[in-house]
């Protein structure tokens, strides 16, 4: 592949505002920004190791049978590092900057850790994820359709935990080339799975199907592949993209395992964007009370991202403050900020 087809990550800034103006502008205009240095390496390594122990080894029968995405490693989790990465203050600050909002106005709607295997054969037919069709992700995230380009509702991202050199499988992205880019024609419905079209994941089958169903647009889709750029990732790199960015997963090296964490944050006011997992509170009652501890230790911003009522919210009264303290105080929750906001109001 020629050198200019690779997307190279750019460095994050130190401190509480990790993204540069250029990175933010790239996400807003071109639909992607690829960033190195959001997380501490040690966190990425802890998460990678813990996750690697939970999945089948490559080249086993179980690995060969894992031909689609998804796993039970979802937020919140007892897996070392998963919650920490999901609610990392520098990640939340990055998302807020991309959307141009306060952290307290964004909500987590996806965080799961997915293995992808370099398999010897495409075993899942139309649903095989080895060499994906070019697509956008919105259909199984929102009940509606993404809003016009300049008012995005959500930030999606892939946090890579593996090395491209070892596993291959770079994510391909079609950078949007400004207003009127034909690749970004509106509405975004010209992809298998959308509207009446069957869902087909495998590229070859998807394009054969599309050529039958929408022959007049088959060349247009070929043009999307022709414009692909590939993310040259190392562990910890983050590809920020969007529900309306054309992209796809590409084949890996046979016998390899690639681990990634997929996350989405939405604007708090976009309720039509679904949370892809079981409700957070459903993880309560575990013997180790990890959900209760997580909420109690979380910062006000981290709690907001999970939908916990913020200081000043009408939820808070003397009675509810005392009640939440009765539930979570044992885990160290400090309810002072809720009380202070209440006192200020009255």
Residue showing tokens 């190279």: 8
Alpha helices in 126-284 (DSSP H): 164-167, 203-213, 218-226
For residue 228, the partner it binds in Fe ion, ligand AKG, none, with Cβ less than 5 to 8 A by kind, is: none
Nearer to Fe ion, 137 or 228 (CB): 137
d(CA 89, CA 85) in angstroms, rounded, equals 9
Minimum CB–partner distance for residue 321 and Fe ion (Å): 42
Binding string to ligand AKG for residues 59 to 98, with x set by CB under 6 A, is what?
----------x-----------------------------
* Distance, CA of 314 to CA of 297 (rounded, Å): 22
The stretch among 119-127, 211-219, 244-252, 270-278 that binds ligand AKG (CB under 6 A) is 244-252
Quick one: which of 51, 54, 41 has its CA closest to 234?
41
248 lines the binding site for ligand AKG (CB under 6 A): yes
204 Cβ contact partners less than 8 Å away, ≥ 6 residues apart? 131
Distance of alpha carbon 86 from alpha carbon 92, whole angstroms: 8
∠ CA 249-28-161, nearest 5°, is 35
Please give the size of the binding site for ligand AKG, defined by CB under 6 A.
Answer: 7
Quick one: which of 90, 119, 229, 247 contacts ligand AKG (CB under 6 A)?
A: 247
Query: Is the distance from CB of 73 to CB of 159 less than 8 angstroms?
Result: no
- Binding residues for ligand AKG restricted to 160-199, rule: CB under 6 A: 171
Q: Which stretch binds ligand AKG (CB under 6 A): 179-187, 241-249, 274-282, 331-339?
A: 241-249
Least distance in angstroms from the C-beta of 303 to ligand AKG: 29
Contact residues toward Fe ion (CB under 5 A) are 137
Q: In whole angstroms, how close is the CB of 132 to Fe ion at the nearest point?
A: 7
Query: Which residues from 96-125 bind ligand AKG, rule CB under 6 A?
Result: 116
Give CA torsion, residues 163, 68, 76, 153, to 10 deg: 90
Q: What is the distance, to the nearest Å, from the Cα of residue 197 to the centroid of all Cα atoms in its chain? A: 25
Query: Residue 19 or residue 231: which is nearer to ligand AKG going by CB?
Result: 231
Binding mask 27-66 for ligand AKG (x = CB under 6 A): ----------------------------------------
How many Cβ atoms sit within 10 Å of the Cβ of residue 255?
A: 14
116 binding partner (options Fe ion, ligand AKG, none; Cβ < 5 to 8 Å by kind): ligand AKG
Indicate the burial class of 115 (C-beta count within 10 angstroms; 0-12, 13-18, 19 or more): buried
Binding site for ligand AKG (CB under 6 A): 69, 116, 137, 171, 247-249
């Amino acid at each position: 592949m020629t050198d200019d087809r690779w997307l190279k990550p750019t460095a994050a800034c130190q401190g509480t505002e990790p993204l540069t103006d250029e990175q933010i502008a790239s996400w807003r205009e071109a639909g992607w920004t690829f960033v190195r240095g959001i997380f501490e390496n040690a966190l990425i390594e802890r998460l990678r190791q813990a996750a690697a122990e939970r999945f089948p080894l490559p080249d086993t029968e179980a690995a060969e049978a894992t031909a689609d995405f998804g796993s039970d490693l979802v937020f919140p989790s007892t897996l070392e590092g998963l919650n920490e990465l999901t609610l990392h203050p520098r990640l939340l600050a990055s998302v807020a900057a991309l959307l141009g909002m306060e952290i307290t106005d964004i909500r987590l709607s996806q965080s799961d850790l997915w293995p992808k295997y370099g398999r010897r054969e495409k075993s899942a037919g139309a649903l095989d994820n080895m060499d994906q069709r070019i697509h956008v992700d919105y259909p199984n995230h929102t009940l509606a359709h993404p809003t016009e380009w300049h008012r995005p509702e959500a930030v999606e991202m892939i946090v890579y935990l593996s090395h491209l050199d070892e596993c291959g499988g770079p994510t391909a992205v079609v950078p949007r080339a400004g207003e009127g880019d034909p690749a970004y024609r509106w509405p975004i419905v010209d992809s298998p799975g959308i509207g009446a079209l069957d869902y087909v994941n495998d590229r070859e089958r998807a394009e054969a199907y599309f050529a039958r169903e929408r022959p007049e647009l088959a060349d247009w889709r070929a043009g999307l592949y022709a414009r692909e750029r590939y993310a040259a990732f190392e562990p910890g790199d983050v590809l920020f993209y969007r529900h309306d960015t054309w992209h796809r997963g590409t084949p890996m090296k046979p016998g390899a395992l690639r681990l990634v964490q997929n996350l989405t944050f939405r604007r708090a006011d976009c309720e039509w964007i679904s949370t892809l997992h079981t409700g957070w509170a459903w993880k309560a009652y575990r013997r180790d009370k990890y959900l209760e501890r997580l909420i109690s230790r979380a910062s006000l911003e981290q709690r907001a991202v999970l939908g916990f009522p913020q200081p000043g919210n009408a939820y808070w009264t003397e009675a509810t403050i005392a009640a939440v303290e009765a539930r979570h105080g044992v885990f160290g929750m400090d309810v002072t900020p809720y009380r202070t906001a209440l006192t200020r109001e009255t």
